[in-house]
Chains A and B, each alone.
Chain A
């Protein structure tokens, strides 16, 4: 698992001939066609990885309740819970109109945290209250990612503590 590891098998493999390589190429093409990487996954990954710091904890999606992604309208809110070793964050996104959603969130354990929602139109930052609750109004729909930062007097110095994968609101 570290850089010192060597490709020990490099000199010990039986050789592949041209026909083997060609079959492997066709197997690759076959799986790429039958089970393709979702069209926008690489874009969403690149969005999620575009962070100023690499010293982050990962908040993993843990549970999701509500209308399937892409479902429209209705009063029902979509609730997603993320957790890391140290933090749990739950958000509930409800559709306001064709362009925006309202996000109600809750962070545990409560602490002095800034919650930033990165969106394609820029970041929205709020401070969680002493119960760990936060609200974001008029969030543009589309790709988003939640960052939890330490709340400092100067927000520009607030280090990222944890991030979620990108999600589509």
Chain B
């Protein structure tokens, strides 16, 4: 990956660092080092969680889908050699496992399409959701006003660093290469909504 143009200093440094770390861990895990696998699991489970919850799974069903995703990975670990391939493989598999869980009827406590439909009114959110923070509530309200596809995309992109957008496309069932333009449009819309809100000030 050397020779990439440095176009986004902030994210490129951060993304590249994470990618290098993940590449090293993946190599170690393929050689059978348990500790490396544990670190990969800790690193990527939050992304998988958001991805399967976005598909409308209950928390229990989401756990099932994520457990079987990681177990399925073990068999395929030898064929996956790069972090972007790993992330894409995991998101694609998690999407399929989530479908399976739904098809098996393991999702009897289905909570709805996404958390926004469960909790449409920010003013009535329970405190334990940690949205009492004014700034976060403002963001929540703005994100809630995005279209569902924009919201889904923002949710996943926020958990994935830039070079891995093919993986996001796989999880959302969007064409590769469409993530960038759509992300730009959704972010612009979100920032416009935030700019209109007096509760929001640029950090």
Within 8 A of A (CB), among B75-90: 75, 77-82, 84-85, 88-89
CB distance from B103 to the nearest CB of A (A): 10
Within 8 A of B (CB), among A53-107: 54-56, 58, 60-64
Assembled-state Cα–Cα distance A54/B70 (Å)? 11
* Docked-complex contact B75 and A13, CB < 8 angstroms: no
Q: Which residues of A contact B4 (CB under 8 A)?
A: 10-11
- Chain A 20-63, CB-CB to B under 8 Å as 1, else 0, gives 11111111111111110110011011101111001110101111
Closest to B165 in A: A9
* Docked-complex contact A56 and B71, CB < 8 angstroms: yes
Q: Which residues of B contact A37 (CB under 8 A)?
A: 45-46, 49
* Docked-complex contact A3 and B179, CB < 8 angstroms: no
Q: Which residues of A contact B162 (CB under 8 A)?
A: 10, 13, 16
* Docked-complex contact A34 and B131, CB < 8 angstroms: yes
Decide if A14 is an interface residue (CB 8 Å cutoff): yes
Assembled-state Cα–Cα distance A70/B99 (Å)? 26
- CB-based closest 5 A-B pairs: A3-B81, A165-B67, A13-B180, A28-B158, A54-B74
Q: Which residues of A contact B (CB under 8 A)?
A: 1-3, 5-16, 18-35, 37-38, 41-42, 44-46, 48-51, 54-56, 58, 60-64, 163, 165-166
16 A-B contacts, Cβ less than 8 Å apart?
A: A3-B82, A5-B166, A16-B187, A21-B11, A22-B203, A30-B140, A31-B50, A42-B42, A46-B42, A49-B74, A56-B71, A56-B75, A58-B68, A61-B64, A64-B106, A166-B67
